[in-house]
Amino acid sequence: MQLAFFYFFSGLSILSALFVIFFRNTLSAAIALVVTLFGVACLFGLLEAHFLAAMQVLVYAGAVMVLFLFVIMLMNLGREELLKIKLAFLGIIGVITGVCLAILLVTRFMGLSAPLLSLDLGVEYGTVKSVGKLLFGEYLIPFELTSILLLVAIIGAITLARKPQS
């Protein structure tokens, strides 16, 4: 059952990820990316990371990708400016590099065979409570730093988006 879900969702993620990079239409790419993210979220769920799965959908699909769509629509690139995928020399090198990387990594990691469900996880594994305890306990300082990072990002985005004061 789990294996079926795994194959389904990982296939979904990989397929839609391929769509992301091969769709001409930026908007379609974005939608495909949403599907990828959703699939990855489901994989998170399979890995008992429920909180992160929810956050994945909430943050990525809910906020990040909406921003992408927003920008795409504002630029109105979807139709008028379909950038052609010219497989130039650089592109070919890029593809070769990527494929090499994939082969390298996959052949390397195929060998890992630790069974995932060997450990008896507690009831709280992956819940909001356990993640929260870590975030507000051991990782409090990185957490606060992240909030500063976000603040900086907000200010930066506003500065970039603001109309220049004549």
Closest separation between CB of residue 16 and other proteins, Å?
10
- Whether 125 and 132 have beta carbons less than 8 Å apart is answered as no
User: How far is C-alpha 111 from the chain's CA centre?
Assistant: 25
83 contact partners, CB below 8 Å, separation of at least 6: 24, 26, 77
Q: Considering only residues 101-120, where is the footprint of other proteins by CB under 8 A?
A: 101-102, 104-106, 108-117, 119
DSSP 3-state assignment of 98? helix
Q: Residue 162: left (phi > 0), alpha (psi -120 to 50), or beta?
A: beta
Q: Considering only residues 67-106, where is the footprint of other proteins by CB under 8 A?
A: 67-75, 77-79, 81, 83, 85-87, 90-91, 93-95, 97-102, 104-106
Q: Residue 49: left (phi > 0), alpha (psi -120 to 50), or beta?
A: beta
Closest separation between CB of residue 143 and other proteins, Å?
8
Closest separation between CB of residue 36 and other proteins, Å?
6
19 contact partners, CB below 8 Å, separation of at least 6: 28, 29, 32, 35
Contacts with other proteins by CB under 8 A: the residue count is: 112
Q: Does 20 bind other proteins (CB under 8 A)?
A: yes
Closest separation between CB of residue 151 and other proteins, Å?
9
Q: Considering only residues 25-54, where is the footprint of other proteins by CB under 8 A?
A: 26-27, 29-31, 33-34, 36-37, 40-54
57 or 165, CB closer to other proteins?
57
